[in-house]
Chains A and B, each alone.
Chain A
Amino acid sequence: QTVVTQEPSFSVSPGGTVTLTCGLSSGSVYTSYYPSWYQQTPGHAPRTLIYSTNTRSSGVPDRFSGSILGNKAALTITGAQADDESDYYCLLYMGRGISVFGGGTKLTVL
Chain B
Amino acid sequence: QVTLKESGPALVKPTQTLTLTCTFSGFSLSTSGMRVSWIRQPPGKALEWLARIDWDDDKFYSTSLKTRLTISKDTSKNQVVLTMTNVDPVDTATYYCARSRDYNNPNWFDPWGQGTLVTVSS
| A→B interface (CB under 8 Å) | 1, 33-36, 38, 40, 45-48, 51-52, 57, 89, 91-93, 96-104
Q: Is the pair A101, B47 in contact by a Cβ cutoff of 8 Å?
A: yes
Smallest CB-CB separation from B113: which chain A residue? A45
Q: Is the pair B110, A57 in contact by a Cβ cutoff of 8 Å?
A: yes
With contacts A46-B47, A99-B52 known, is A92 near B109, CB below 8 A?
Answer: no
Number of interface residues of B (CB under 8 A): 26
Count contacts between A and B, CB distance < 8 Å.
73
| B→A interface (CB under 8 Å) | 37, 39, 46-49, 52, 58-60, 62-64, 96, 102, 105-115
Q: Is the pair A89, B47 in contact by a Cβ cutoff of 8 Å?
A: yes
With contacts A102-B46, A104-B46 known, is A97 near B64, CB below 8 A?
Answer: no
Of A45, A51, A103, which is within 8 A of B114 by CB? A45
Of B46, B58, B102, which is within 8 A of A89 by CB? B46
